[in-house]
Structures are given as C-alpha cells and as structure tokens.
Amino acid sequence: MSRKAKAGRKTSPAPRKRRVAGEGGRGLSRERIAAAAMTLVDREGLAKFSTRRLGEELGCEAMSIYHHFPSKAHLMDALIDMMLADARVVMEPQWDWRERLRRAAHGFRAMALRHPAFFPFFAVHRLNTPAGVAYIDGIIGILREAGFSDREAAIYFRELGYYLTGAALDETAGYARGPSSAEPVPDKTIAAQFKHLAAAAPYFQPAHFRATFETGLEILLAGIERSGSRRD
C-alpha cells in the first residue's frame, strides 16, 4: 500500500464509553450522600432538590443513591438525623434543668439558622427516627429528672417545641424573609397611619432576633419554674 493511501485513511473514533447506573457510585456511602444532599439544599433550596440533581453533584447516576437509600424518604430521614446531631449539646453535670433546657434551646435555634432552607421541612416532620426518638427522650428526661411528673414533662416539652419551632420558622422562612403580600403596605403609610407598629419596627430587625429569642425563652423557663413551685 502506498504512503499516500495510508495518509488518506480515516481512523475510526473510539467507541464512547456508556455510563451505567453503578458507575460513579464507587466510594459512595450513606454519610457522603447525606452530607452532599444537605450542602445542595443549603445552596439551592429544597424546592430544587432531587435525587437526579444530587447524582449530578456526586458524579453518579441517581440509581447509585438508591443502593444506599431505598427511597427519597429514607434520604430525607437521614437529613433529619443530621439536623438533630447538629442541634445536640453536651450536657455538663453541674448544670441544673433550667440551664440544660436553655442550652438545648440555643442548640436548636443554631441548627435552624445553619440550615434555613431545610428547616421548614424539619419543622413539620415527626421525629420518629431512632435519632429523633432519642432527642425527644433526652429533653423529656431533663424535665423528669427535675421532678416534674410525666404529664407535666409532656406538656412542657410541647410548649418548648411550640416556641422553638415558631421562633426558628420566623427567623428562617417567615418575617426574616420580608413581606409576603403581593402589594405590601408602604413604609410611608405605616409611619403615617400605624404609629405603634412604626415605633416598634426597628426592633423587628435581624439585629434584635437573638435578644428577642432569649427574652421569650427566659419567660417560658420562668413559667415552668413557677409551675413547679406551685406544685410544691
């Protein structure tokens, strides 16, 4: 064959390697998947989250994720458990029940603020995973060890939950995000016609969120303490 003929021959392109479901899944673990999912939700929001998008983030097909989590619901449970681990506070033996509840409350708020995009889902999710049950048992245990009855511990636990969930929702998805109305009342109108709201408005700003939270928490703890005193 002449050199000219060799030069004119076209080389067939190498066949493209087909990506299979398991490819890219090497090195995956439940912990790595859950951590990547939380990072993705933190960055893009829960509404845009999907296992397909998570697979893109991890460099694998969505099917690879299901080798570790049977369903998206199982993955969401894992994210709930991550939130609970983030909220956990190591309790020091010298702390009394008030300080323990106070520290737990601040841990809960800090967790919500670290993951504001996921917290609205967390807020309405029943904590019936093993980690969730352990968390609830721990808070109720603080109250029981303080001498409150089962009934009182249950009531006070729910009251704390109402306060913490409401406060965290307000700071992550409610008032902190600004007006929700299609046509909010202008600031000028508020200043002219709603003097009480106008005067209070500066204290609704994020700079005052922590102080407001602490004030409400202390009122709640004082109320629990007074209830225990009346019982004695």
* pLDDT tens-digit readout, 154-199: 999 999 999 999 999 999 988 767 777 889 999 999 999 999 999 9
**Tens-place pLDDT, residues 62-117:** 999 999 999 999 999 999 999 999 999 999 999 999 999 999 999 999 999 999 99
CB of 183 within 8 A of CB of 60?
Answer: no
CB of 110 within 8 A of CB of 156?
Answer: no
What average pLDDT does the chain have? 88
Confidence of residue 16 (pLDDT cuts 50, 70, 90): very low
**Tens-place pLDDT, residues 191-220:** 999 999 999 999 999 999 999 999 999 999
Q: Could you tell me the CA-to-CA distances from 71 to 35, 68, 82, 132, 169 in Å, in that order? A: 16, 9, 17, 19, 27
Which range among 9-18, 140-149, 177-186 shows the weakest confidence by mean pLDDT?
A: 9-18
CA dist 93 and 30 (Å) reads 34
- For helices 72-87 and 97-114, angle between their N-to-C axes, nearest 10 degrees: 130
Confidence of residue 45 (pLDDT cuts 50, 70, 90): very high
Q: What percent of the chain has pLDDT over 70?
A: 87
CA dist 34 and 220 (Å) reads 35
**Tens-place pLDDT, residues 104-122:** 999 999 999 999 999 999 9
pTM for the whole thing?
A: 0.83
